[in-house]
Each structure stands twice: as C-alpha cells, then as structure tokens.
Amino acid sequence: MVDLSVRIGDLTLQNPVTPASGAFSWEYNDVIDLNRLGGLVAKTICREPRLGNPTPRMAETEAGIIQSIGLPGKGIQYFLDHIVPEYAKFKPPLIVSASSEDIDEFALLASELDVPDVDVLEANISCPTRNTTGGNFAMHEEHTRKVVAALRAATKKPLWVKLSPNAGDIVSVALAAEEGGADCLVIANTFLSLKIRTDNFRPALGNKFGGLVSPALKPIVLRMVYQVAKQVKIPIIGIGGVTKAEDVVEYMLAGASAVGIGYAGFRNPTALVSIIDDLERWCDERGIEKVSDLIGAVRDDDMEMDTLAAASIGV
C-alpha cells in the first residue's frame, strides 16, 4: 500500500490533503473523521475582534462563488482560550492562519501564537480585498519580503506564507517570501472579482469586490505552482479548484508537496476524505509506493523552457 506521507520542512503530514483556511472548522468532525486529514487549517484570525464585511458576503456565479467575508472573529485571546483546545483534540498538526494590516501588529500576533498546540503559522498576506501595504502584502515583492522577515523574527514555528494569484509576477513575490524566511509557500488565495446584479444594477456583494473560487481556476493556479516550484527551494502547498484525487496528483507533479481544499468541501462535506481514499487507490493501482515521489515529477525535460521564461516576466 502506498505511503501517503509528505514532509513540509521538519513537519510530516500523514497525507497531502489539507483543508483551506476559511472553508473549514473543527465542527466538520460531525461529518468526517478529522484524524484522517493531512493537517487542520483554522480560519484566518486577527488580533482584535472583527465583525467582518457588510452582507451579502457570498454570491454565486456561473462557475463558482465570489465571497468577501472580511475575516470576522473574536480576536487572539478567544482563539487561544476556546478554539485552539477544540483543534488540539485531534491528531493532525494544527496550522493557524493569521493576518493583520500592520506589520508590527502582525509580528506581535505571530509571537502570541507561539504556543505548544499550534504547529504552524500560516501568514495570510494575500487577502484580496485589502490594501497592498496592509493585509495584501503579497501583491508586491518588497512588502512581502518586509512582512515575512518581521514574522520570521517573531516566531520559531514553521512559517507558511499564503501568496496572491492577483500579483502580476508571483514568482518574484515567492522568491521574496523565501528570502524573508518562509518555510513553505501556500499558492494561492482567491482571485479578486466582481459581480453586478442586473435587477438593481448594484454590486452583488456588500463589500463590492470579492474573491472568486472555482474549479475553473485550477489550471491557472497549477501554472503558478509549476512556475514557482522551478525557482524556489522551499515546499509548496497548492490550493485552487481541487475536487478530485487526480487534481492532487496534478498539483504534486507540478511541484506541490500537498494541497489545500476549500470549495469542494462546501459542495460535499465528505469530499476531503473521499479524495484521500481515491488518492490511495490511484497510487496503488499504478504501483506508486510513495506519494512523495510525485512531487515535481512532471515529465517535461524534453520540452523547451522559453515559454516558462516568457510567462514568468512580470506585468
């Protein structure tokens, strides 16, 4: 039987399937066995309590949903006292996503999350509806380098950094995050988008813009993972449009060590566990002994790389 475990730096995940931040909580344990997952990823938290964005916060499109939730939450103390203990009841490592609009406050939050039951800090520096100097640092390499370096200095936890698909040149931003001290790159957050209602001519979301999630975006994010994997040494988690085991395989072939899943879990709350089962079967049927052998195993050595260079040039 295939060994599904993967390593992300010093951390071993029992399999490469994790939930995506904001699309998951420990309450899913009512429907699936959370101990089956590669990791547990908490919703992004902010230091101070936040109400979130005006409603409506979600709208359907022909191919997926746009959403602008606005990171509602009860703040760091509530998170440490009430939410971390809920996740700590389960075996997989706890990955805590955190965000701030201010670098000093972000660093303080990182240090406050340096507690035993938190295994990884995932820095959400790519909230699509925020400013590039505050909360959406990943739009720009210099902002990225600065915030990642500040977080690196503030925590000893493994530091995963979630990048933006909206950056013109994600490869440069990825390199900046690596230079800043990231241990892993999470690619990617949602695509900035807009829906306008034709009945009242108003934007469909209370916050006007939102992030699009859709299986249709998978080829775009896959391309980003591939490009970044060619340039960085640290591991990558691919997130975007994973709905089946073959999508996990594709991301791994492109260079990801694991994947995150959001949308598919909304459509079917048992999707993550089914995908793990299917991945195991897929590997066994092909005699693949270690799923980690798939990482970066795309067979393209005989293909010219000019298109990669061209596509990597920033806009």
Instruction: Tell me the sheet residues that pair with 192.
Output: 211
Give me 263's structure tokens: 């949308």
From 46, 127, 184, 283, active-site residue = 127
Instruction: Tell me the sheet residues that pair with 286.
Output: none
CA dist 72 and 102 (Å) reads 17
User: CA angle, corner 21, sides to 16 and 27, nearest 5?
Assistant: 90
Indicate whether 67 belongs to the interface with ligand FMN (CB under 6 A): yes
Given the complex with ligand FMN, which of 2 and 256 has the nearer CB atom?
Answer: 256
Note the residue count of the chain: 315
Residue nearest to ligand FMN (CB): 22
CA dist 177 and 251 (Å) reads 20
Given the complex with ligand FMN, which of 2 and 161 has the nearer CB atom?
Answer: 161
CA dist 83 and 93 (Å) reads 14
Indicate whether 130 belongs to the interface with ligand FMN (CB under 6 A): no
Q: Are 161 and 173 in contact (CB under 8 A)?
A: no
Is 283 one of the catalytic residues? no
Give me 9's structure tokens: 């730096």
302 half-sphere exposure, CB direction, 13 A CA radius: 1
Indicate whether 189 belongs to the interface with ligand FMN (CB under 6 A): yes
Given the complex with ligand FMN, which of 124 and 193 has the nearer CB atom?
Answer: 124
Binding mask 25-64 for ligand FMN (x = CB under 6 A): ------------------xx--------------------
Q: Report, in Å, the least distance between residue 124 CB and ligand FMN.
A: 4
**Among residues 6, 17, 23, 107, the one that binds ligand FMN under rule CB under 6 A:** 23
Given the complex with ligand FMN, which of 2 and 261 has the nearer CB atom?
Answer: 261
The site that binds ligand FMN (CB under 6 A) totals a number of residues, namely: 22
Give me 83's structure tokens: 């939410």
Closest of 279, 280, 285, 268 to residue 244, by C-alpha: 279
**Among residues 11, 159, 185, 261, the one that binds ligand FMN under rule CB under 6 A:** 261
Positions marked catalytic? 127
Q: Give contact residues for ligand FMN (rule: CB under 6 A).
A: 20-23, 43-44, 67, 69, 71, 97, 124, 162, 189-190, 213, 239-242, 261-263
